[in-house]
Structure 1
Amino acid sequence: MRVVVQRVKKSKVKVNDEVVSEIGKGILALVGIEKWDTEEIVGWVANKIVNLRIFEDTEGKMNLSVKDIGGEILLVSQFTLAAYIKKGNRPSFSEAMEEELAREYFDKFVSMVKNQYPSVKTGIFKAHMEIELVNDGPVTIIIERYPRDISLNN
């Protein structure tokens, strides 16, 4: 699983020129689900996003989570994060999870995040989306988790 987490001042998702989701200060997370992902991995990543300390405290240190600041989370499925370009210049998506199963896993992921922190909005799975954001910092963190890494306690 690969997730690009961006600390934002605001973000919104449009489909066919219509705003379908919008948040203020918080996290925009672009979510790539790969064919070997498990519920355990999805749960680990959900927990990491909700508790990731990427917001500044009164001393200017990144020490606060989205929960601590009362921010919002926007989750957007993005299968292109499963792209590999080891050979040639055309990305391969062979490591992406099959569409229907990926939809189930994305829905589970959204539920897991919401169970920890309810201020969550989403894009529309498989839609052609336009994403607007004002990156704050900028702060961008990449979270990757693979089955071989799941035994790690961090």
Structure 2
Amino acid sequence: MLKLGVEPSAVTFSTSINGLCNQSKISEAVSIFDEMTERGYLPDLIVYSTILQGLCKSGNTDRAVRFLRLMDGRSFEPNVVAHSTILDCLCKNGLLKEVLDLLSEMKVKGIRPNILTYSCLIHGMYDSGQQEEATRLLNEMVHSNISLNMVTYTILIDALC
């Protein structure tokens, strides 16, 4: 586009990032993200989430956590969905200390875990053989007045079988 003298718009950048992430071309998506910000466009939550999900799916856990931290310094704070995405990624990679550290960090920032957050954490803890921690998280969830849903019940039933 630039060779033709056409300046890409925020939508063009966002669409390119989404397409590259869908094709598992995460490094290229991050390069487009960098170009987007260098040109003065502010990525929205969808762009950040797309890259976070792409990094997690490709197994780039460390890079995903760094990207989450990058979001902190930008125009908005990462929300519960962004944190839950990273927590799920960390759980799937067995990085339980990092899971608990990020969960604590989340709470300090005033970001309340939701049913999705707790479900992925409880599932990750059970899968890693951390039954006591899974039970503690389940109790924390209940004390936070978050109702269990079908997913959570299924996780519990699978863990008990």
Normalising by the smaller structure, the TM-score range is under 0.3
> Which structure is higher in helix share?
2
Q: Which has the larger radius of gyration?
A: 2
Q: Which has the higher strand share?
A: 1
User: Which of the pair has the greater relative contact order for Cα pairs under 8 Å at 6+ separation?
Assistant: 1
